[in-house]
Amino acid sequence: MKNIQLLSGIVLIALGFTSCKDEKQEQAKKKIDSYVAYVDSVKNVAEEDLKADWKDVEAEYERRAENAQAALADLKDNTAETEKINESKIKYEEFKNQMAAKLAPEVTPKQKLRNALFGEGKIGDDMSFAWVNAQNIHNVYQQFVHTVENNKDSYSREDWDEIKLLYEALDSRKNTVEKEGLTAEDNRKIAGLKIKFAPMYTVNRMGAKSEENAAAKK
């Protein structure tokens, strides 16, 4: 009798372990399904709502992704679930890239001009030229003047006014840089670029103004 009771106890314990194990696997699958469902559902949310709450969306995604990844350890055979997670990761990354483009601040025509003349994001609303130094100022002038030369026929009068404003600010920075080790050779090259720029600005700015006046009369 005692042996039967002992055997029954062992069976019950084994069944309990099996039940716990099955429940753990079920919970793991639910976490993975929750992650997959979240990725699919995010794409159906209105774009304006996503823009307003994008940080929350990303935080929730990260939480569910971590839970799903950790849940794989609780599955005896996780091949199918791993594939599901990987597919959802790819879906989300593609969607995230699409949203990044939509969330990026719109670049104004003025900022596009500044980016072309000096490099992406080098000159912002603060008009700071602190990044220009004795070592790079010749290259800065060179890019500025050559960019203007290559695009001079497409600039409007407002563009030329902005170009002049930026050119004068760069010149002001040069006055400071000259005292910080600007070489005579670079100074000579910059002088040549300045001689090239001056008449190009005057002629083309006048031409742009004349074209705008003619267009206004029509």
The pTM (predicted TM-score) of the whole model is 0.57
User: Helix 157-177 and helix 184-217: axis angle, to 10°?
Assistant: 160
Tell me how far apart the alpha carbons of residues 143 and 141 are, in angstroms, rounded to a whole number: 6
Which one, of 125, 129, 118, 119, lies nearest residue 169 by Cα?
129
pLDDT digits (tens, 9 = 90+) for 95-142: 999 888 888 777 899 999 999 999 998 998 899 999 999 999 999 999
**What pLDDT, on the 0 to 100 scale, is given for residue 11?**
35
- 12-67 pLDDT, tens digit each: 333 344 455 678 888 888 899 998 999 999 888 888 888 888 899 899 999 999 99
